[in-house]
Each structure stands twice: as structure tokens, then as C-alpha cells.
Amino acid sequence: MNPHFSFQRIKLLAIRYFTEHGRRDLVMMAALFFTFAFLPRLINNASPFTSPILFCIILFIGGMRFTARIFHEIHQPASGMHYLHIPASRLEKFLLNGAITLLLFPIICLLLYYGGTLFGNLVKPIVPTFLNYNVIDISSLVPTQYIRETASQYLFWHALFFLGALSFKKHPTTKTILSFILFVIALGIIQSLLAKIMWSVFEVPSTEILLKNVFQLVESWSYFDDLFHVSMFVFLWIVSYFKLKEKQV
């Protein structure tokens, strides 16, 4: 096989993917379309479960579940051998699966979100009045002030579950979540021990100064948070690539 990168091979890989999984993905898309079209309207207006919140829930939970299953066939004996012998490089396979889960899924989810909402508005005249069916303002579907934070968080969680898809043979979604929880607990214990050591060595500032420093940190934290998410995305993707390389060796 030609070792040089080829967009033609990526195209053939994409055709293979949609040929094998297209029917399943169409069923999922139809379910999302009707969920976006009707579920938020049938909930009381006072409920915090609005369209944007529903979109974020589906984007993150559905996206992470979808991402964790993207390398499912590589862990099966028969399909794994077939996948490893597909005439395409590791980088081409890696980039295609990354593009499907990182770019294609959110774009399709967003299109279904708008399309389903518009469809739900159009069918309002035929819906019985006792259902308290609401019309949703299209212009308010995506609160612009949260786009940056949502995008950076999706990058991080996607990369985490992308690595989990390669690391765990069975139940990658559950095992990735548990691994992350255990890591956070261990990190919290270490930080608590370090804080106790630091506070015992150095003079503890007054409550007023301490609170002032905390509020200043919170005000600037959002940008550091985004930088952390993007940095972790790059790091986890690099680790994932070498994990795929390990699988193919």
C-alpha cells in the first residue's frame, strides 16, 4: 500500500462506514429529529428543561456514547482483523473516525435541532389544544454567550471518550466514566494533602484577602478553563493515535 496520505482512501473509508452503519445512523437521526420537534413543547413552560438544555444533553451524552463506540469493531476478533487489514494508513483511519465523531455528529445534531424545531412549529395547527403545545422561537435556540464554553468542553469530553474507545474492549462508555471519576478523586486527595502542607508551612492569609483572591480567580477562570480543555484535547488525541498504533502492531 502507498504509505503517503491520501484523501481518496479516506473517501473510500467513509463510504465503507456509511454503507455498514448508515441504517443505524438514520434511525438515530430520525429519533433525534422528532425528539427536538416535540419533547420541549410538551413540557410545562416553567420547566428548566428547555430546547437549548435538551440540545446540550443530547450533544454530550449522545456524542460521548457515539464516540465511545466508534472503534467497537477493532476489539472484536473477526471484525478487528478485517479492520486492521483495510488498505488505509493508521492516520487515515484515525482522522476519519475523529471527523465523524468530532465534526459530523455535532453538525448533524445541530441541523436536526433546527430542523426538528421548525417542523414542530409548522405542525402546531394540527395539534390538539389540550396538549398545551408551544411555539419555539428559532432565534433563541442557541444562546451565543455559551458557544465558546460548550465547544471547549465538547473537545475535552470527545477526546476523553475517543481514547476510551481505543482503551477498553467492553463497555467503553461506563469504564471511561469510572476511570475519569477515580482520576478526579485521586487528584482531589493529592491536592488536599498539598494544601494542608502548604497552609501549615506558610502563614494563612486573612479571610478577607483569601475571598478576594478567590473571586479574582473565578473571574479569570473561564479562559483558563477553555485553554485547559483545548490542551487536553490535543494531548488525548496524540495518546489515542499511539494507542491505535499499538493496536495495529
What is the maximum span of the chain, computed from C-alpha positions, in angstroms? 72
Task: Output the DSSP codes for 81-120.
Answer: HHHHTSSS-HHHHHHHHHHIIIIIHHHHHHHHHHHHHHHH
pLDDT at position 218 is: 47
Residues 131 and 77: beta-carbon distance below 8 Å: no
Q: Cα 10–56–223 angle (5° rounding)? A: 85
pLDDT of residue 206: 45
35 falls within a domain: yes
Grid cell, residue 104, equals: 459530523
User: Lowest mean pLDDT: which of 51-60, 153-162, 192-201, 208-217?
Assistant: 208-217
Q: Is residue 2 part of a domain?
A: no
Domain of 121?
7-248
Looking at the domain assignment, is residue 196 inside a domain? yes
For 74, residues 6+ apart whose C-beta sits below 8 A from its C-beta are: 80, 83, 84, 166, 244, 247
- Give domain status of residue 14, yes or no: yes
Apex CA 19: angle with CA 16 and CA 24, to 5°?
125
pLDDT at 220: 53
Q: Are 155 and 101 in contact (CB under 8 A)?
A: no
Looking at per-residue pLDDT, the higher value among 117 and 207 belongs to: 117
Burial classification of residue 57, based on how many CB atoms lie within 10 Å of its CB (0-12 exposed, 13-18 middle, 19 or more buried): exposed
pLDDT digits (tens, 9 = 90+) for 39-52: 877 665 544 456 78
How many domains is the chain partitioned into structurally?
Answer: 1
pLDDT of amino acid 100: 94
More confident: 170 or 220: 170
Contacts of 11 (CB under 8 A, 6+ apart): none
Residue 215 lies in a domain: yes
Could you report the per-residue pLDDT of 70-79, keeping only the tens digit for each?
A: 988 887 777 7
Assigned domain for 16 exists: yes
pLDDT digit string, tens, across residues 119-169? 888 887 777 665 666 777 777 777 776 788 889 999 999 999 999 999 998
Q: Is 1 part of a structural domain of the chain? A: no
Higher pLDDT, 158 or 244: 158
